[in-house]
Amino acid sequence: MTTRSVAGISHGYLSEIPHRDSFDRLLARMPWRPAILAEPPSASDLAPVPGARGVPILGMLPAFVRYGPALQLAMYRRFGPVSWFGGLGVELVTAAGGDAAHAVLTNRDKAFETGWDLLDPLFLGGLTRMDGDEHRRHRRMNQAAFTESAITGYLRPMTRAIAAEITGWPADRPLSMRDASRALSAAVSSEAFLAQPASAGGQATMAAIQRFVDAQTAVLRLPIPGLTWWSGLRARRHLLEVFRRAIPAARRRDGDDFLSVLSRATDDDGVVFTDDELAMHLLHTLFASHDTTGSALTAAVYFLGKHPEWQDRCRAETLALDAPALDAPALKRLELLDRVIRESIRLVVPSPAQLRRTVTDTALVGHFIPAGTLVAVSPLVNHMMPEYWTNPGHFDPDRFSPQRREDRRHRAAWIPFGGGHHKCIGMDFGLLKVAAALDAMLRTFDWELPADYEMSWSYTELGPIDGLPVTLRRRSR
């Protein structure tokens, strides 16, 4: 590939409210109607939370569904670190900026509980739905499945599946990277998590996982046949049945797949997970791994296509890697590739919000929030703050280099995996899974995107609106 300098390209549009079509222009004319969330107690020196009521009944919900974190960034710029908007009877507070986000995620005053019951019943029983002693017990037990040795066990079948999947990708004609990334994630997950090859039912399992993923962002959450939410509920029931049937064999075998490893995990009293608990944790992990891997891989491929000098640097690094097997220690030596992945998910966050709910009246950076309020931390807002990031709209992986480490300018500057007790337990595994896929792509193909092409990201589909058409060129051996 011929290297060209694109250091001046800004990708700030990915975090801004777009003006693509007539619907965007219509939403731009929608009145915000500024208003406060609630009056603070009379003896309090706290400020009320400012925000926007939006239009009657729907509130600001149409703009939030359309723009997601971009709306929250716009509200931060207008109202400050704590703001709110409403719609269809729901009031949502956004905690933005380092101090506000850190306070919510660490929850030192025990004022917050998980807010993911908004997705009930899809996540009933998973780590994201747990708090307190129950969460601590289940999280400690889950940690047994995310040790370096366990991750290396998952990577062995994953790297084989990655190589087989990528080898079959077409060259010299456009490929939808969104669809290819999802297919790749599905192909590599079944055997590593369930010891179930894709050819032996794994494809059907992962297709159900995709339907479950799609239901997370369904606007109409009604159990009506044909709707995405209905399909997600059916997929959830089917998957839990499949997993429960697979558990007895997983308990008997001394395997290194995720289900086998987790079936052997015990708490401090030597008690293992029940079948129902094990099935739900497997569902939760498969969902999180599949969803975030597809999004992160798609974003990284986009930025490497727009910045071929970084593609060249990463390819040179991966070709120089002298390792007998592509295990966790070997992948961790790909430092440039790790920076690219971290920068990619800074600019395009796979999980756009971390949800909490107040269990008592509380104060958040000087603002009064009443009990029972839904609070969202939007990582993208923090990722675009010039207080923490040099030219935040620019793609600059070296900001994660040991010499700069801009992500350490605040504990909540870089939070794509959340923070506090509910920080994603599979963060290291997720990063390595994406690195393994990119390593194989860099060895097999090179690619470049037109200078005038700009990816539009949808936070309802959790992917590029046009699928990100990429033309791969097969490299000569």
- Which distant-in-sequence residues (6+ apart) come within 8 Å of 226 by Cβ? none
- CA dist 188 and 155 (Å) reads 9
C-beta neighbour count of 156 within 10 angstroms: 15
CA dihedral 244, 248, 253, 259 (to 10 degrees): 20
Contact (CB, 8 A) for 402 and 120: no
Q: What is the 3-state secondary structure (H, E, C) of the chain?
A: CCCCCCCCCECHHHHCCCCCCHHHHHHHCCCCCEEECCCCCCCCCCEECEEECCECCCECHHHHHHHCHHHHHHHHHHHCCEEEEEECCEEEEEECCHHHHHHHHHCCCCCEEECHHHHCCCCCCCHHHCCHHHHHHHHHHHHHHHCHHHHHHHHHHHHHHHHHHHHCCCCCCEEEHHHHHHHHHHHHHHHHHHCCCHHHCHHHHHHHHHHHHHHCCCCCCCCCCCCHHHHHHHHHHHHHHHHHHHHHHHHHCCCCCHHHHHHCCECCCCCECCHHHHHHHHHHHHHHHHHHHHHHHHHHHHHHHHCHHHHHHHHHHHHCCCCCCCCHHHHCCCHHHHHHHHHHHHHCCCCCCEEEEECCCEEECCEEECCCCEEEECHHHHHCCCCCCCCCCECCHHHHCCCCCHHHCCCCCCCCCCCHHHCCCCHHHHHHHHHHHHHHHHHHEEECCCCCCCCCEECCCCEECCCCEEEEEECCC
* Strand 82-87 to 50-52 pairing: parallel
Distances (CA, A) of 161 to 62, 314, 412, 427: 40, 22, 35, 21
Instruction: Give the residue from 443, 378, 312, 471 showing the smallest Cα distance to 70.
Output: 378
Has 424 been labeled as part of a binding site?
A: yes
Q: Which residues are annotated as a binding site for heme?
A: 424
Q: Which residues are annotated as a binding site?
A: 424
